[in-house]
Amino acid sequence: MKIILIHGKDTDPTKKWYPWFAAEAEKLGYTFIAPFLPKAADPVMQEWLTEIDKTHPGADSILVGHSRGGVAVLRWLEAQPADVHVKKVILIATNSGRLADKAIPEESNYGFYTEAGYDFNKIKSHCKNFIMFHSTDDPWVPFSAGEFNAKGLNAKFLKFNGYMHFGHGVETIPELLDEIKMLLPKV
């Protein structure tokens, strides 16, 4: 199995909790892929979707999206043909995809947000196992966005306090590793 991490805006796979997660996933025997997404400071959705395509997600894949990366994961799933399926999707501090919920209204959009938000039915046709991580004190993505996504995806919703946006200062997320371990074969 493989884990594909899609990082957030203004960062890359060498920062935050990402290196810890890569090391832990590899210790468990997973193939770990975390592409450096282009123009992370001012991302363009289609460019990020192209990078996700290059990782070749499939039935043996776990997609993990943090912040804007979670939005990209959901948009990627929306765009897939009917025969594409992934094993599990874990979204961390992911916004609703609705223009009205954009964290910084004056910030560029480039396809991440729409008036309608996500097509949850289309997304769920590609995966049956969704997990949402959201902290009640997130200063960028409202907690209500996490609740909204969890409801739309019929996702398991893990509520945190003190993790803020799961960004700077968060070096590990043990609960994330717990969710990954659940998929390992029982010995």
Does the predicted model carry a pTM greater than 0.75? yes
Distance, CA of 85 to chain centre: 16
Tell me, yes or no, whether 88 lies in a domain: yes
What is d(CA 109, CA 102) in angstroms, rounded to the nearest whole number?
9
In a domain, 130, yes or no: no
Decide if 20 is inside a domain: no
Question: pLDDT tens, 44-96?
Answer: 999 999 999 999 999 999 999 999 999 999 999 999 999 999 999 999 999 99
Domain span including residue 88: 32-67+84-118+141-187
> What is the number of structural domains in the chain?
1
Q: Looking at the domain assignment, is residue 26 inside a domain?
A: no
Residue 187 has what pLDDT?
53
- 167-175, Cβ contacts within 8 angstroms, sequence gap of 24 or more: 167/8, 167/11, 167/16, 167/67, 167/93, 168/16, 170/16, 170/17, 171/16, 171/17, 171/20, 172/17, 172/20, 173/17, 173/21, 173/92, 173/133, 175/133
Please indicate, yes or no, if residue 176 is contained in any of the structural domains: yes
Q: Is residue 43 part of a domain?
A: yes
Cβ atoms 72, 6 nearer than 8 A = yes
Supply 176's token pair.
Answer: 């994330």
In a domain, 18, yes or no: no
Listed residue (68, 58, 59, 77) closest to 6, CA to CA: 68
Spatial separation of the C-alpha atoms in residues 15 and 18, rounded to whole Å:
6
Residue 12 lies in a domain: no
What pLDDT does residue 150 have? Answer: 98
- pLDDT tens-digit map of 116-151: 999 999 999 999 999 999 999 999 999 999 999 999
Nearest to 30 by CA among 4, 65, 59, 2: 2
